Copies of this chain bind each other. A is one copy, B any other.
């Protein structure tokens, strides 16, 4: 994984920024919206090309605050609630089908442990340097995987979601594409997806590279173009670079904690960490093959030693200077996930002042936000734009 540049698609994003600035006029007349309008078209990258509002709301794993994540029920509710974009995480099956799971380890999100016929598939693996014991998608054919039922990943925190345990199976990405097509027709609007390749280097070494099958599916459903309603995203920059050679969809490089290293960097001996990538030089490098970044919220506003929100970094400004959209992750309404100054009461699973936190994050100028609670996020975004 070298650092050589390849041509980005800045021309497209330039047009996008202009469209965006024009489009903003119709979004509302509140102070925030006016500030957004004042920002010159060339001061920040935009990936939404006038169709998505700013900030846009990305339904994280669907409506994972209310449904077992990455199920058709989770995606459907997100769309019904009006989410601007719906996220899928992709992992492969043994026979190379792409399915929607946050991890290839499906121990926590399916009923696989209750299937005696799969007991012998339980195993210990090292995935991206982490030792895991459980069941893994790459050890199941699609037909086998389809006999499992999805369940809530964090039942203690989100007991209400367990009501839907066993209701839906593990969707293939192609099922999602078909559903998006149908729903788009039915609603007279395009259904936007934010599609992540998970552990791409790990799977490549198993002969299960994700990018080609993903590109093939996007092409089959006419979603491979620069103006198609999707983003592709990955924690491994090389996966985004690879995809940029296969499809024209805007790519988003995900960025974890500052000391972390993308796993493809580890494998390739690239010494850079996320702390390097968020520097202007790192962003310039990313802009050579990607159109956005997806940093943790803490990279946008670090938390203080007491867990409260500190002062915003220059990341949003620096990324916009490179015409990169900024889609941070993840806002969740529960106290346990909120910055300390937005918690309310003692119950970790109670909701804190999520609206206050959304506002602080939106004020940094981010282009969109991943949230487990897209309904709350949509209300907060409408407030921020002044059209709430």
Contact = CB atoms under 8 A, between A and B. Distances in A.
Interface of A: 73, 77, 80-82, 159-160, 162-163, 167, 333, 345, 347, 350-351, 354-355, 375-376, 379
A88 B191 CA distance: 32
Nearest to A167: B379
Nearest to A375: B77
Contact of A159 (B73, B80, B82, B347): B347
Contact of A350 (B160, B333, B345, B354): B160
A351 B80 CA distance: 22
Contacts of A375: 77
Contacts of A160: 333, 350-351
B81 A159 contact: no
B355 A163 contact: yes
Interface on chain A toward B: helix, strand, loop, or mixed SS? helix
21 contacts: A73-B379, A77-B81, A77-B375, A80-B80, A80-B81, A80-B82, A81-B81, A159-B345, A159-B347, A159-B350, A159-B351, A160-B333, A160-B350, A160-B351, A162-B351, A163-B333, A163-B351, A163-B354, A163-B355, A163-B376, A167-B379
A345 B351 CA distance: 22
Which of A163, A167, A375, A376: most chain B Cβ within 10 A? A163
A184 B159 CA distance: 35
Contacts of A81: 77, 80-81
A350 B73 CA distance: 20
A355 B77 CA distance: 18
Contacts of A350: 159-160
A81 B82 CA distance: 10
In the A-B complex, list the 4 residue pairs whose CB atoms are closest, starting with the nearest.
Answer: A163-B351, A159-B350, A160-B351, A80-B80
A350 B163 CA distance: 10
